[in-house]
Chain A
């Protein structure tokens, strides 16, 4: 246990020292500033909007812009997670940082677990902090609050933890650059699959919905994100609820407990694959 904490702290310190962390913080500040401006003008102009009958303009505007914030938060969290983990094995081995650590009586699996925990210890609080900040901005500016306050944030953080695990797995087999590209492409593919599913829902196309569902189960970070979006307006009914489900920043995807259990099992599978690959790898 003390080895896990030591290496996790090593990873944390590395994260805080990297310039990417400063860049992400600056980008976050810019994002939150722009998000506040967008909220300010959106809700200011909302009074002049005449919505169709049956549509609650404030709910529609609040859920849509906060859904956009959810996407932005997920993206920033994923960027952070990838940059903190993309070189943990191959990258650090190429630079000669890994060998002195790995010959210690620590164990390769311990090192992987510790580095993942270190990354999650940075990314999860970051995602939750941005989630809360954006929720406060929308809530205080537009007086709209999500139907569920906590679960969407936790699902976003869990999605980022899944991406961190995928990136760690990739680092066992790929160079840092190749791994970074691969994980960003997987992330992009997941988002596209989610949008395809939303379109399928709008068009009532079972084939599109089915395909998107398979993609979501293969890439549960996307399913968690979609489920989080759904949770934002899960109690919103009528035409407003239906329009929000058509997306792109509303959710029709229902994950529930099964999804969360699958995401946990998925993490274990990814972890096991990474452990097997790392254990068999020559350094």
Chain B
């Protein structure tokens, strides 16, 4: 069963069309990255999936249950882009509150494991108001994991993190994938998406404009071959063309010193897809 299925999802805020019929699927144990410029509809999609926003048209299902329903909310963890926990709660108390609300019976052991997982084991009793923004964000990730939900919806989970914090979350995401947890990751950080995601979906003006694995999206830009005559670029050639090109050069009595298959980065693919749009 798919963790998240979105079909023809549309949302209109007055005259603004935030989503214009999006189809998307996150399979079990899959980590899908959601990319797009500001205002592309990424957060709206995530909010509809977790029941914060009502769709104008189309449907969203979480583990087979209508998004926003009791069963759907039991099956997901969510980290909002902009969130705050009461400042007078300690990290442990925040998790305890969410354990009660999520119906988790993991108790102290679960809280300890989650805080350790996000690198906050030492800050268990520290009040939220005494935590840095990055620590609060990592606490937010831990909160989303309460009750071991099969689907995680993470809206910009690393926006306030320093490089070490980002790495902690990346490692955590890899760990979750190995446990079979599905993740929809909404992020502006292309490098991060490229490093951890199985599949990437790019939204532009409420529409899905590209989708596939980072390898599928990274199109071939040619093959570069270094010979005794210098470096030659065979534009349009792919990896599969490489043996033939080398054979032809050798047959033409050229000395071949090196071969490099050139592919576009996710950043280049993204910029091409969104046409340089920023908002």
Chain A residues within 8 Å of B, Cβ to Cβ: 2-3, 6-7, 10, 13-14, 17, 95-97, 99-107, 280, 282-283
Contact = CB atoms under 8 A, between A and B. Distances in A.
Give the interface centre of A96, A97, A99, A280 by most chain B CB atoms within 10 Å: A99
21 contacts: A2-B100, A3-B101, A6-B97, A7-B101, A10-B97, A14-B86, A96-B82, A97-B85, A99-B52, A99-B80, A100-B85, A100-B98, A100-B140, A102-B51, A103-B51, A103-B76, A104-B101, A105-B71, A105-B101, A106-B101, A107-B70
A281 to B, nearest CB: 9
Contacts of B101: 3, 6-7, 101, 104-106
B53 interface: yes
A182 B101 CA distance: 32
B53 A283 contact: yes
Given A6-B100, A100-B98, A283 B84 contact: no
Interface residues of B, number: 28
Contacts of B83: 96-97, 99-100
Interface in B219-236: none
What are the 10 tightest A-B residue pairs by CB atom distance, in nearest-first order? A104-B101, A96-B84, A105-B73, A96-B83, A282-B53, A99-B80, A283-B52, A6-B100, A103-B78, A105-B74
Interface string B76-100: 1010101111101000000001101
Contacts of A101: 101
Contacts of B100: 2-3, 6
A155 B47 CA distance: 43
Given A103-B52, A282-B53, 18 more contacts: A6-B100, A7-B101, A14-B86, A17-B86, A96-B84, A97-B86, A99-B78, A99-B80, A100-B83, A100-B143, A102-B51, A103-B73, A103-B76, A103-B78, A104-B102, A105-B103, A106-B73, A107-B70
Interface string B8-27: 00000100000000000000
Interface string B129-172: 00000000000100100000000000000000000000000000
A91 B90 CA distance: 22
Contacts of A102: 51-52
A160 B190 CA distance: 53
Contacts of A103: 50-52, 73, 76, 78
Give the interface centre of A2, A3, A105 by most chain B CB atoms within 10 Å: A105
B154 to A, nearest CB: 12
A107 to B, nearest CB: 7
Nearest to B11: A282
